[in-house]
Copies of this chain bind each other. A is one copy, B any other.
């Protein structure tokens, strides 16, 4: 009297939704310990991987509303994870840059994400984890 309905478990859509929720849930919990949310990590990653962005470009890259970028950057610059500077070439633009402190934070968060991954994927061996990673990558195109 405690199993989930097979009708649902037979749907890959449902399994994806459920495992995705588990993955996100755990990640969100760790981020919350630092007062951050998903978008904060995504923004830090984008700045680390691709260098400084105008806020508009962050918005386009991550698919986040421009007005929400403002708020995320507000919260990332408070603890000194990013710097914001008006672009001299186009004074409408504000360029966001990750700081050394922000880099360190991102590294820490990434390590924790890998720890979560190890818990979540515990039932799978290394080859299977690679397989899963591969399949998911191809789905996202």
Chain A interface (Cβ within 8 Å of chain B)? 1-9, 11-24, 26-27, 38, 41-42, 45-46, 48-50, 57, 60-62, 106, 110, 113-114, 116-117, 120-121, 123-124, 128-129, 131-133, 135-141
Contacts and interface: CB of A to CB of B under 8 A. Distances in A.
Main secondary structure of the interface of A (DSSP, over half): helix
A60 B8 CA distance: 16
What copy number does this chain have within its complex? 2
Contacts of A124: 135, 138-139
A109 B45 CA distance: 38
Contacts of A129: 12
A8 B136 contact: no
Contact of A23 (B16, B62, B110): B16
